A and B are shown apart, each in its own frame.
Chain A
Amino acid sequence: MESNHNNVPQSAHAASAGGAEPNYINAHKGIWSWMTTVDHKRLGLMYLVGVLTFFGLGGIFALLVRTQLLGPIFGGASGKQEWLFSGDTYNKLFTLHGAVMVFLVIIPSIPASLGNFFLPLMLGAKDVAFPKLNLMSFYVYVLGGIFLLFSIFTGAVDTGWTFYTPYSSTTSTSVVSAVMGVFILGFSSILTGVNFIVTIHKMRAPGLTWVRLPLFVWAQYATSLIQVLATPVLAITLMLLAIERTMGIGIFDAKLGGDPVLFQHFFWFYSHPAVYIMILPAFGVISEIITINSRKQIFGYKAIAMSSVAIAVIGFLVWGHHMFTSGQSELASAVFSFLTFAVAIPTAIKTFSWVATMYGGSLRMNSAMWYAQAFLFLFTIGGLTGLFLGTLSVDIHLHDTYFVVAHFHYVMMGGTMTAFVGALHHWWPKMTGRMLNEFWGKVSCFFVFVGFNVTFFSQFLLGTKGMPRRYANYLPEFQTWHQISTIGSYLLGLGFFITLIYMIQSLINGEKAPKNPWGGLSLEWETDSPPIEHNFHGQPVVNNGPYEFPEIDHSKSNRGGH
């Protein structure tokens, strides 16, 4: 069925040997071979294990946070009582949830694990441009993670993942080690970005022109640009914060003559582009999954590729929309609001294009496709609710309420994490050589989808009603929706737990995966599942685009074409 449009010269002995040839997993043995590996696939797998472990940890923090909010209400000042955690403990829990999820999970999730694994494969390369740098960036990631964990065991941090000053320069919790952790993680991100940019520029297979790149590669390219350009600003900012805390030099703390709002500018100058570091790879994943399972050309290839780059560029100029109530100048607020609306357009173009891609296709609704559809649903809500927050007058009411919490969870969790889990289903056979259980894949997707909406849609209502975020307790009027939200979070947790179970089952006795279970045309499907150590026998050559599927009926009129 998947007639081979790409010419992959295969050495005769390997082609005939069948499963006898060693793959990247069993080519070398022993823990040392993993610790010193420069193989992008092994590093991708190790990142994946790290990311999933931290995802579990961050998820447990989230469930603890939600459980606290299930609790009895507090009658304001006088009738106060404690339920599960004290205010201090709760503050640490939501800080750790945010910091772990943002810095250790979402930012490295798709780029570091799947990007590392598939970028060289998709390009027809043997590895990334700088394999040793790749190994180093993994160790930098581990080191950063250790610093963050160290801060957890030495009393944790209670600043929120945003580390706003002057609270963060005065609190007695272990801010310095947490900040150092994030600082170090930033370098891992920068090194991966540099590596990917060079790899994409220099290591494409013959015939793999820029317009023949799979859209996942385009998305990784745009992401890497942001990682390289924005992350240093975060590093500088966190360094200044550490200097202020340790040496008492006034930079952000008004008591020392600093400006607390300056920190917010610095922080969001990185952290808003970071939102696109988190979401752009997800866009790439969705472009792949929807197209391959629709058996069609993607609708508007160039518009999708270019809108990734447009988002990356405009995304640098919208950070001030986090600060409409901070006291920044009115003119600045107006300009940031306008630019925020500008960035909505390329995002809308992508969404429309994905839906249009399914038109006239032959849709295979496998579990990856289920997750992709869940992404479309959730990300549409996440994107549209951004309009409320970009609007100056309406944001004044909604800023720092649960509306914001709901909005960014719809984008980060409903968007990026749904796409990430979908991508795992899509590429699992290639990575592990085993198929996942399709039935349970759909069951888990159902629980994740329903649980997610119950958890976070109720938070839009809470926020509109005026429930502020980062509250360890709340007034009685908010309790019903908080309890509904908490029940939703348990369903969501159950969904991911099911995923964990059938992934382990697949590793133990899953059905053996063929080379190309979904009939893909990009180069990663040309090699074995799991891939051989050096990816390909010989140098693959590309003669066509990544989405010219054999099912496409070219005899039909070219209506609507270019």
Chain B
Amino acid sequence: MNLGSALGYMMAQAANTTSWWKPIQASAHAGAVDTLFNFIMYLCFFFFVLIVGAMVYFIVKYRRKGNGPERTSPIKGNHTLEIVWSVIPGILLVLIFAWGFKDWLAIAVVPANAMEVRVSGQKWNWTFTYPKEGIVSADLVVPAGQPVKLVMTSKDVLHSFYIPDFRIKRDVVPGKYSVLWFEPSEEATHQIYCTEYCGTEHSNMLSKVKVVSSAKYEEWLANGGDEDGGTPVPLADKGKKLYEQRGCVACHSIDGTNKVGPTWKGLYGSARKFTDGTSLAAADENYIRESILVPNAKIVAGYAGVMPSYQGQLNDKQLESIIEYIKTLK
């Protein structure tokens, strides 16, 4: 078997990309990335078997038998062999580089018809803003088959936006915008991770991409990003959902345990003591609202003022829902 046909065989095998140990392929990029991944993997298998196979064979064949010294070969080198094993890997490496570069350009260049969504990362949650509609959402909701351009920035430290099913990732940097795009292939829900270490709750900085039909997407937009649509829902239930989705859960418990921030259990109506020495006899609606929008105005004694402001990210109805939810936590 000559090298050319072996390469051809590997490339053909590489195109067969689905496997149990990879994430599903759910974007236009995913197939190409996996094809190259597999090609490199087969090359690695080949060289691994070559190197370790020769090593094991030599160990068995040339292992010293008996005690006396044996005669060994006077070989010091072989120019032909050395050139061969430098040049052939060299060619393969250039091939891999060029292939990876070509696929990567497709990932880097955003198509003109992409719809735009703003992404904001902060310790420790993601917020998605739809600029045309003014909708703010905790999940990324997008229609299937539509290229989506994400314009991302961070409010505090570095984060990184990663969707394994789409094979895309990009760091989210404070004071800068970074761009990422994808074209989701089917209606499904996919996991979003933060992959740049960002502190205490880094591993809980999770969110979802919900890929829906374009009809459903339009409906979602028409409802102002509210998944419950027109059906009436008790405000406290809505508040509970916001608590889980908008990152409150990362720092505030509902069972009385102290985390990064004070617990919400029994918060409403309780006496508060602040770091500046002032106090409040009973926490009321105004106090809670202020704590969400201007967190550092009053910091509860024993805690650090690390909470980011939610000004502009939660509307009045959402704020009321959260307050109602806190009232239920006794």
A348 within 8 A of B: yes
In A361-395, which residues have CB < 8 Å from any B CB?
361-365, 373, 376-377, 380-381, 384-385, 387-388, 390-395
> Is B160 in contact with chain A by the CB < 8 A criterion?
yes
Q: Once bound together, how far apart are the Cα atoms of A472 and B86, in whole Å?
A: 43
CB-defined contacts of B200 to chain A, threshold 8 Å: 86-88, 91
Provide the B18-33 mask, 1 if CB < 8 A to any CB of A, else 0: 0001110000010011
Q: A-facing mask of B62-104, CB < 8 A → 1, else 0?
A: 1110000111111111110110011001100110110111011
With a CB–CB cut-off of 8 A, which chain B residues contact A554?
A: 74
Tell me whether A465 and B21 are in contact (CB under 8 A).
yes
- Complexed CA–CA distance, A91 and B104 (Å): 32
Chain B interface size band reads 35 or more
Q: Are A356 and B81 in contact (CB under 8 A)?
A: yes
Is A468 an interface residue, CB under 8 A from the partner?
A: yes
Decide yes or no whether A421 CB sits under 8 A from chain B: no
A550 with B94, Cβ < 8 A, contacts A301-B77, A363-B62 known: no
Please indicate the chain B residues that have their CB under 8 angstroms from the CB of A76 in the complex.
204, 206
Give every chain B residue within 8 A of A202 (Cβ-Cβ).
none
Cα-based distance from A172 to B250 in the complex (angstroms): 18
Interface flag for B59 (CB, 8 Å): yes
* Chain B residue at minimum C-beta to C-beta distance from A324: B104
- How long is the Cα–Cα vector from A158 to B200 in the complex, in angstroms? 9
In contact, B104 and A392 (Cβ under 8 angstroms): yes
B120: shortest Cβ distance to chain A, in Å? 14
Q: Which residue of A lies closest to B163 (CB)?
A: A466
- A529 within 8 A of partner (CB): no
For A261, what are the chain B residues with a Cβ–Cβ distance below 8 Å? 173, 176
Binds B, one of A28-36, A180-188, A312-320, A337-345: A337-345
Q: Is the CB of B164 within 8 A of A397?
A: yes
Give every chain A residue within 8 A of B171 (Cβ-Cβ).
325-327
User: Quick check: A556 and B206 within 8 Å, CB to CB?
Assistant: no
Query: Shortest beta-carbon distance, A403 to chain B, in Å?
Result: 10
A1 contacts chain B at the CB level, 8 A cutoff = yes
Minimum distance in angstroms from A408 CB to a CB of chain B: 15
**Which of A8-16, A162-170, A530-538 is near enough to bind chain B?**
A162-170
User: Which of B164, B176, B203 lies at the interface centre, i.e. has the most chain A CB atoms within 10 A of its CB?
Assistant: B203
Residue of B nearest to A338 (CB): B97
The CA of A396 and the CA of B105, in the complex, are separated in Å by 12
B69 and A295 contact, CB distance less than 8 A: yes
Whether the pair A170, B82 counts as a contact (CB closer than 8 A) is: no
Residues of A within 8 A of B94 (CB): 341
CB distance from B30 to the nearest CB of A (A): 9
A562 in the interface, Cβ–Cβ < 8 Å?
A: yes
B265 at the interface (CB under 8 A from A): no
Interface mask (A524-562 → B, CB under 8 Å = 1, otherwise 0): 000000000000000000000000011111101011111
Contacts of A393 in B (CB 8 A): 29, 32-33, 36, 99-101, 103-104, 106-107
Distance A1 CA – B69 CA, assembled complex (angstroms): 8
**What mask results when residues 242 to 261 of chain A are scored 1 for a CB within 8 Å of chain B, else 0?**
00000000000011000111
**Contact of B135 with A by CB under 8 A:** no
> Is A464 touching B193 in the complex (CB atoms < 8 A)?
no
Please determine whether B71 and A551 come into contact, CB atoms closer than 8 angstroms.
yes
Contacting residues, chain B, for A390 (C-beta < 8 A): 96-97, 100
User: Are B62 and A472 touching (Cβ within 8 A)?
Assistant: no
Contact check, A396 vs B62: say whether CB atoms are below 8 A apart. Answer: no
Which chain B residues border A380 with CB–CB below 8 Å? 47-48, 51-52
Interface hits, A291-310 → B, CB 8 Å: 294-303
Please give the distance in Å from A353's CB to the nearest CB on chain B.
8
Identity of the chain B residue whose Cβ is nearest the Cβ of A354 in the assembled complex: B55
Q: Which of B37-45, B209-217, B223-231, B309-317 contacts A (4 or more CB under 8 A)?
A: B37-45
Complex Cα gap A165–B196 (Å): 11
Which residues from chain B contact A303 at a C-beta distance below 8 Å? 77, 82
Q: Is A522 an interface residue (CB 8 A)?
A: no
Give the number of residues in A that approach B within 8 Å (Cβ atoms): 106
Give Cα distance in the complex from A404 to B133, angstroms: 40
Contact with A along B158-193 (1 / 0, CB 8 A): 101010110111110111101000000000000101
Q: How far is the CA of A474 from the CA of B58 in the complex (A)?
A: 44
Q: How far is the CA of A167 from the CA of B304 in the complex (A)?
A: 16
Instruction: State in angstroms the CA–CA spacing of A80 and B254 once bound together.
Output: 12
B294 contacts the other chain (CB 8 A): no
**Are A384 and B169 within 8 A (Cβ)?**
no
A394 touches B70 (CB 8 A): no
| B72, A170: Cβ atoms closer than 8 Å | no
Check: B199 CB closer than 8 A to any chain A CB: yes
Across-interface contacts of B173 in A (CB, < 8 A):
254, 260-261, 326-327
Bound-state Cα–Cα, A1 to B158, Å: 63
Q: Which of A58-81 contact B (CB under 8 A)?
A: 74, 76-78, 80
Is there contact, CB below 8 Å, between A373 and B55? yes
Question: Quick check: is B202 within 8 A (CB to CB) of the other chain?
Answer: yes
Pick from A260, A330, A351 the residue with the most CB of B within 10 Å: A260
B114 within 8 A of A: no
**Least distance between B29 CB and chain A CB atoms (Å):** 8
Q: How far is the CB of B25 from chain A (nearest CB, A)?
A: 11
Q: Does A439 contact B (CB under 8 A)?
A: no
The answer to whether A388 and B104 touch across the interface, beta carbons within 8 angstroms, is no
Taking a contact as CB atoms closer than 8 A, the residue among A160, A359, A465, A472 that contacts B23 in the complex is A465
Q: Are A344 and B174 in contact (CB under 8 A)?
A: no
Q: Would A475 and B85 be within 8 Å (CB), given that A301-B76, A365-B59, A392-B100 are in contact?
A: no
In the assembled complex, the CB of B61 is this many whole angstroms from the nearest CB of chain A, namely 9
A542 to chain B, nearest CB (A): 18
Q: Is A497 an interface residue (CB 8 A)?
A: no
| Known A362-B69, A384-B48; contact A255-B174, beta-carbon cutoff 8 A | yes
B41 contacts which chain A residues (CB < 8 A)?
388
Contact A466 B89 (CB under 8 A): no
Q: Which residue of A166, A260, A362, A394 is within 8 Å of B62 (Cβ)?
A: A362
Give the interface centre of B76, B103, B204, B249 by most chain A CB atoms within 10 Å: B76
A469 CA / B78 CA spacing, docked (Å): 44
Asked whether A349 and B86 contact (CB < 8 A) given A325-B169, A393-B33, the answer is yes
CA distance A302 to B168 in the complex (A): 43
A401 at interface, CB cutoff 8 A: yes
Check if B219 is an interface residue, CB within 8 A of chain A: no
Q: Please report the C-alpha to C-alpha distance between residue A393 and residue B178 in the assembled complex, in whole angstroms.
A: 17
> Mind listing 14 A-B residue pairs with CB under 8 Å?
A87-B201, A91-B200, A166-B158, A170-B156, A261-B176, A297-B76, A299-B78, A337-B97, A360-B75, A362-B69, A387-B40, A391-B96, A394-B40, A474-B203
Top 7 A-B residue pairs of the complex, sorted by shortest distance between their CB atoms = A466-B164, A360-B73, A254-B175, A391-B100, A392-B104, A393-B103, A471-B203
With A337-B100, A394-B37, A560-B75 given, can you name 10 additional A-B contacts, CB distance below 8 Å? A165-B158, A337-B101, A342-B93, A355-B55, A359-B62, A363-B63, A373-B55, A391-B100, A400-B196, A470-B203
